[in-house]
Amino acid sequence: MISAKITGQAPILFVSDIGASVAYWVDKVGFTAIGLYGEPTDFAILARDTSHLMLAEAPDGHAILPHWRVRDKLWNAYFWVDDARAMYEELKQRGARIDYDLGEQPYGVLEFGIQDLDDQDIAFGEVLDRRPEG
């Protein structure tokens, strides 16, 4: 049986201000806006390297509830990276809102987190090689 392959993914985040959020992701996190939709804009598609992110402006009066408020230490989005140290230094230098500093996690990932403008947690992690020596 031939099966279709998934060729990409894109977390979708609700945001309270699409313009400010797009600017944050572009300026502070290094993404590129590849599509802005609606009049006025209320949806955006961003990309960095091979990953995408979609932002949707929440309706007026809609409370955005970050996942960590429902379950402690749970992200709204997670990006795998090939060099967590370099990504951490870059995002710190760009002025991203660092949520937690770079550290090795018990699940074998070197990881750090940021927050977006709506307090949603986004993590970046590098899988560590834990094969035994010898």
Dump pLDDT digits (tens) for 52-97: 999 999 999 999 999 999 999 999 999 999 999 999 999 999 999 9
Residue range(s) defining the domain that contains residue 103: 12-59+75-127
Give the span between the Cα atoms of 130 and 113, in whole angstroms: 22
Q: Is 6 left (phi over 0), alpha (psi -120 to 50) or beta?
A: beta
- Whole-number pLDDT of residue 131: 59
CB atoms near residue 108 (< 10 Å):
13
Average pLDDT over the chain reads: 95
What pLDDT, on the 0 to 100 scale, is given for residue 6?
Answer: 86
* Domain assignment of residue 115, yes or no: yes
What pLDDT score was predicted for residue 113? 98
The total domain count for the chain is 1
Domain of 44: which CATH number?
A: 3.10.180.10
| Residue 3: inside a domain | no
What integer pLDDT is reported at residue 22 of this predicted model? 98
Question: Per the domain annotation, does 120 fall within a domain?
Answer: yes
Does residue 27 fall inside a structural domain?
Answer: yes
Residue 33: inside a domain? yes
Q: Which residues, at least 6 apart from 42, have a Cβ–Cβ distance to it below 8 Å?
A: 18, 56, 57
